Structure 1
Amino acid sequence: MEREVMDLDAYVARTRTGPCYICAFLAGEPGYRHERVYEDDAHVAYLDKYPTLPGKVLVAPKAHIEHVVRDLDEAAYSRLMLVVRKVALAVEEVFAPERTYLLSLGSAQGNSHLHWHIAGLPQGVPYERQQYHALMTENGVLAPTAEESTDIANRLRRAMG
């Protein structure tokens, strides 16, 4: 997959002035579609719209929760993390990464809906391009076609059984 430059100004404007993208996605609003890879009553996992690594997946609670520690009781946190683990294991099965990164990012100023990033670092990436460098959209994003995204989602769903 080719990398393309991401319009960071447009992204920031959308995340800071638009609706919560996860809530909009779950409501089926046009322009907020994502390829789902897993869903249960309380959680959803979907392909990142701006992936920096192949098969990058986001996992979120369906409820609009903003803080990873304060807003979840122990049982809800454990259930969410079991979904993160299930999806991460599927990413590992499908992509055989050197390392799997798990991060909860976002801000009260934009992308406030709690979500976890699952990103598999491909084998052989030079050390200086690993870790945060591999995750930063400033270094370009992958541009999978709709067919490639559907294929990735299907492979991940099969891996999760």
Structure 2
Amino acid sequence: MPDQQRTPWDEDAYLRRVRAACFVCETLAGNPEYHHHVLYRDDATVVFLPRWPWLAGHVLVAPVRHLERVVGDFPVDDYLRLHRVLHATGLALERELPTERLYVLSLGSQQGNRHVHWHLVPLPPGVPYEEQQLAALGTERGWLDVPAEEQADLADRLGSRLAGLLAD
């Protein structure tokens, strides 16, 4: 994996945070303790860069409404609408950043991070196979320490690409 500034993962702080409040709902409410760089929002979906990315360009896509089950809480039309945004977000990422493989996964639990969301994580080209897949996403590596101004710039660029894709 290319050399990047990383910060060790603090498991205890993470567990306290994800059990204290819904990070998606708090982000949408404008709580500064849960600030994330939003690159797109409509009445049903929000797309943002997480504060603790695994890799450069790591993006989260979530419904605006607090839903907890990945498929069971969605009427099919709402699910497909959200996944249209997810698809366009993936295209925006692949067009903005060199990407060997785009990982798309939903994580969370009824015990923390209950608000359903999808992670889109672009794996850069040239990463040795042993450092790809779950190894690229492991907390033992820590999180990528990206300055806020770089995250804001990336959010602007991705947001512009995404708006263009969704307008088509």
* Equivalent runs, 1:11-160 vs 2, <5 Å: 11-16=14-19, 18-160=20-162
Give unmatched runs, 5+ long, in structure 2: none
- Cα deviation for residue 24 of structure 1 reads 0.8
Distance, in Å, in 2 between the alignment partners of 1:24 and 1:55 is 22
- Equivalent residues of 1:102, 1:116 under 8 A apart: yes
TM-score (normalised: structure 2): 0.92
TM-score (normalised: structure 1): 0.96
Distance, in Å, in 1 between the alignment partners of 2:94 and 2:11 is 29
**Per-residue displacement from partner, 1:117-156 (whole Å, max 9, x unpaired)?**
0000000011011001111222111011111101111111
Residue identity matched to 1:91: L
What is the number of equivalent residue pairs in this alignment? 160
- Equivalent residues of 1:50, 1:137 under 8 A apart: no
Residue identity matched to 1:122: P
**Per-residue displacement from partner, 1:1-28 (whole Å, max 9, x unpaired)?**
4111121111011112x11111111111
Give unmatched runs, 5+ long, in structure 1: none
**Per-residue displacement from partner, 1:36-82 (whole Å, max 9, x unpaired)?**
11111111000011111101000000000000111011111101111
- Cα deviation for residue 99 of structure 1 reads 0.3
Q: CA RMSD in A?
A: 0.9
The runs of at least 4 consecutive aligned structure 1 residues that moved more than 3 Å come to none
- Equivalent residues of 1:100, 1:121 under 8 A apart: yes
- Equivalent residues of 1:8, 1:138 under 8 A apart: no
Instruction: Determine helix, strand or coil for the equivalent of 2:46.
Output: strand
The corresponding residue for 2:8 is 5
Residue identity matched to 1:84: L
Instruction: Determine helix, strand or coil for the equivalent of 2:14.
Output: helix
- Cα deviation for residue 33 of structure 1 reads 0.6
Greater displacement, 100-109 / 151-160: 151-160
Structure with more strand by fraction: 1
Distance, in Å, in 2 between the alignment partners of 1:38 and 1:32 is 17
